[in-house]
């Protein structure tokens, strides 16, 4: 693979930025990669582990001369970072981000955008429950979707160049309109995360069932919820506050359905429950066929002989 | 390991029974193991793959002369199976089951129990989203808890012998009282499963978000829910109908908490959300430290270099 951008700046050095760095380096997609993180401790770790070719002490310094600048900070921090870097952005640079919410980010960034900078928002649907500069690895994006969400009138050359970068890091790519992105993500990610957080919180609250028991016996199903409920709190707070309408809409639908199933349990309506559970099996099958999960029992946690 | 029971009968030949068979054989814990399944097709598959030393065409025939009989059928089928086998049970045999609900099973079985048979209910907290006679494997119970739930006045020798069998199959064991078992399981398993089924059902219903999109982009969190929502519909219908009160109580608590978080999102109360999400992280940490899940990112789905 040949170099796609001579100079890339990563602002924010968490799971996504660090994975991007290792993925770009592995594939030789970028010349020099600079990085900046607000926390001095994160910058020190980054320097210690060789994350980024050059770690800078200000965001403005990191973006100077960069052909591509990627904002990898929580959605709620995008606007303030943008204020810091806007004057330092190189003309005709591409600005992108990796936020899990797109409409709110576009609304925050666009008014601050220098006229000659192309803003191409993106969202890699990849992640783990781990966070921080040490959590990244080159394979994170492999065979995972990255959604490119170009605003109206976005420069096509800039879009295609960024798409190539993501593909070079192993991602599958699609383009999507911001509103639709936020709704799809509310269903596939934001509502499930809030539900998982809630169930874990309930388990933690119950006084008659001790913490120890919940933890010991978690393999019965609960532990699958705890993985996503262990994700970065700041990132998720910002996601919910910035994709409020779509998330609340899906949660409303969820509550309706849950009440319906609770009613069926109370009434002893086994046929209704059985039919519902049979339908949901098919979706799992679809995900496995689409290559988005493993068919190995229990996510392959169990090692067979 | 030496033989613990000379003759074991497995009634119902799904994931748990087939895993028990392979685990007992691997460790040499049982002499002859007989098996019965209601469906002729399942019996045929069992014979084809060598599941059980002898597959019988009736439950009564399978339990004849058995020192241990294990009911591995859905909770709702326990009573009817018990009617079939009760007259054929050998005196001083141990009868056990692997149902996910214990109080209802004890209530169904006890009135039909011959005076000289020891009933020792048990529940292995192990499983995968797969079902049927081909889904079993010897390692399923390794390092997983099996809860032994002896009714009042239960014969201690019988309890200890069954406990040894489970430990011989690799399980960790604990004893628990039936009511408490049903509440703990409502928290760690039954409520999470119903919630997962519901979320998958909601995603399936949404007309503006196509099935394809939900499936393609499932890696964003949703796919973790679909795994448990792919579990056996009959088994789960019976669990909810037979652990009704505890499940509905936990779901009530869940709904309260979910409403509270929804209100925080609507009101833009980021501090409340952040504090909540920070608390849930600690539980995940506890599960990993207790050896009940892997710390590998994304359940170890991603293979690192």
Residues of chain A with C-beta less than 8 angstroms from the C-beta of B134: none
Share of chain B above pLDDT 70, in %: 97
Q: What range does the domain containing A243 cover? A: 180-268
Q: What is the pLDDT of residues B128-175, one digit of tens each?
A: 888 899 999 999 999 999 999 999 999 999 999 999 999 999 999 999
Are A168 and A184 part of one and the same domain? no
**Structure tokens that stand for A2 in this block:** 């040949």
The tokens for A259 are: 């009440």
pLDDT number for residue A302 = 55
Residue A215 lies in a domain: yes
**What does each C-alpha distance from B122 to A37, A302, B131 come to in angstroms?**
53, 22, 19
In a domain, B280, yes or no: no
Asked whether residue A301 is domain-assigned, the answer is: no
Classify residue A298 by its DSSP letter.
G
Would A297 be classed as within a structural domain? no
Indicate the residue of A76, A244, A283 with minimum beta-carbon distance to B266: A244
Please check whether residues B129 and B236 belong to one and the same domain.
Answer: no
CA nearest to B264, candidates A237, A105, A155: A237
Does a structural domain hold residue B155? yes
According to the model, what pLDDT value does residue B210 have?
Answer: 80
- Whether B20 and B33 map to the same domain: the answer is yes
Q: What is the distance between the alpha carbons of residues A164 and A148, in angstroms, rounded to a whole number?
A: 11
Does A14 share its domain with A159?
A: yes
Structure confidence at residue A1 as a pLDDT band (50, 70, 90): low
Residues of B in contact with A142 (CB under 8 A): 302
C-alpha span between A33 and A55 (Å, rounded): 9
Q: Do residue B190 and residue B118 come from a single domain?
A: no
Residue B38 has pLDDT above 80, yes or no: yes
Give the pLDDT band of residue B304 (cuts 50, 70, 90). very low
User: Same domain, yes or no, for A149 and A103?
Assistant: yes
8 Å CB contact between A146 and A172: yes
Number of domains present in the structure of chain B = 2
Output the domain CATH number for residue B65: 3.40.50.720
| A203 touches A43 (CB < 8 A) | no
Contact B283 A211 (CB under 8 A): yes
Residue A305 has pLDDT above 50, yes or no: no
What is the CB neighbour count within 10 angstroms for residue A13? Answer: 28
- B281 pLDDT higher than 90: no
A113/A168 same-domain check? yes
Last residue within a domain, chosen from A161, A176, A191: A176
Pick the range with the lowest mean pLDDT from A89-93, A158-162, A247-251, B284-288. Answer: B284-288
Is residue A299 very low, low, confident or very high in pLDDT (cuts 50, 70, 90)? low
How many Å apart are CA A293 and CA B215, to the nearest integer?
10
Q: CA gyration radius for chain B?
A: 21
Lookup: tokens for A192 = 């499930």
If one compares A211 and A62, the residue with the highest pLDDT of the two is: A62
One domain, residues A253 and A110: no
User: pTM (2 decimals)?
Assistant: 0.88
**How many Cβ atoms are within 10 Å of B3's Cβ, its own excluded?**
13
| Interchain proximity B254–A198, CB inside 8 Å | yes
CATH number at residue A205: 1.10.3660.10
Residue A242, token pair as written in the block:
């910035």
A39 shares a domain with A172 = yes
* pLDDT of residue B301 exceeding 70: no
Residues A21 and A147 in one domain: yes
Q: Smallest Cβ distance to A257: which of B137, B202, B208? A: B202
d(CA B136, CA A29): 46
Q: Are strands A145-148 and A122-124 parallel, antiparallel or unpaired?
A: antiparallel
What pLDDT shows up at residue B115?
94
A276 belongs to a structural domain: no
Of the candidates A58, A46, A56, A53, the residue with the CA atom closest to the CA atom of residue A15: A46
Token look-up 């993925």 returns A23
Distance between CA A154 and CA A266 in Å, rounded? 54
The predicted structure's pLDDT at residue A304: 47
> What is the interface size between A and B, counted as CB pairs within 8 Å?
365
Identify whether the C-beta of residue A193 lies closer than 8 Å to the C-beta of residue A228. Answer: yes
**Euclidean distance between CA atoms A110 and A151, whole angstroms:** 9
Per DSSP, the residues of A272-294 read: HHHHHHHHHHHHHHHHHHTTSS-
Answer yes or no: is B288 within a domain. Answer: no
B161 and B190 both lie in a single domain = no
How many residues make up chain A in this entry? 305
Report the residue from B240, B287, B300 with minimal CB separation from A265: B240
Q: Which among A154, A176, A198 is the end of a domain?
A: A176
pLDDT for res A301? 62
Which tokens belong to B293?
């899940």
Tell me, yes or no, whether A285 lies in a domain: no
In the listed set B159, B176, B193, which residue is the last one of a domain according to the structure?
B176
One domain, residues A114 and A196: no
- Whole-number Å distance between alpha carbons of B41 and B50: 14
Tell whether ipTM is more than 0.85: yes
């Amino acid at each position: 693979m040949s170099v796609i951008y001579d100079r890339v700046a990563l602002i924010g050095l968490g799971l996504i930025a660090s994975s991007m760095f290792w993925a770009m380096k592995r594939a030789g997609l970028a010349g020099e990669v600079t990085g900046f993180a607000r926390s001095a401790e994160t910058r020190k770790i980054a320097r210690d582990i060789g994350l980024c070719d050059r770690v800078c002490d200000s965001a403005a310094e990191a973006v100077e001369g960069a052909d591509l600048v990627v904002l990898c900070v929580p959605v709620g921090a995008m606007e303030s970072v943008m204020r810091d870097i806007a004057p330092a952005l190189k003309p005709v640079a591409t600005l992108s981000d990796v936020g899990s919410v797109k409409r709110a980010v576009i609304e925050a960034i666009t008014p601050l955008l220098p006229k000659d900078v192309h803003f191409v928002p993106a969202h890699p649907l990849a992640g783990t429950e781990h966070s921080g500069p040490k959590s990244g690895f080159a394979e994170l994006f492999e065979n995972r979707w990255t959604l490119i969400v170009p605003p109206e009138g976005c420069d096509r050359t800039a879009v295609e160049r960024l798409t190539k970068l993501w593909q070079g890091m192993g991602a599958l790519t699609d383009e999507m309109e911001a509103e639709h992105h936020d709704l799809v993500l509310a269903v596939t990610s934001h509502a499930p995360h809030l539900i998982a957080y809630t169930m874990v919180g309930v388990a933690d609250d119950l006084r008659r069932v001790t913490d120890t028991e919940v933890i010991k016996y978690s393999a019965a199903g609960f532990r699958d919820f705890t993985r996503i409920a262990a994700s970065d709190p700041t990132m998720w707070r910002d996601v919910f506050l910035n994709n409020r309408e779509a998330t609340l809409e899906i949660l409303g639908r969820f509550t309706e359905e849950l009440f319906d199933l609770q009613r069926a349990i109370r009434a002893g309506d086994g046929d209704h429950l059985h039919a519902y559970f049979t339908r949901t099996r098919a979706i799992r099958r679809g995900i496995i066929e689409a290559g988005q999960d493993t068919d190995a029992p229990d996510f392959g946690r169990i090692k067979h002989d």
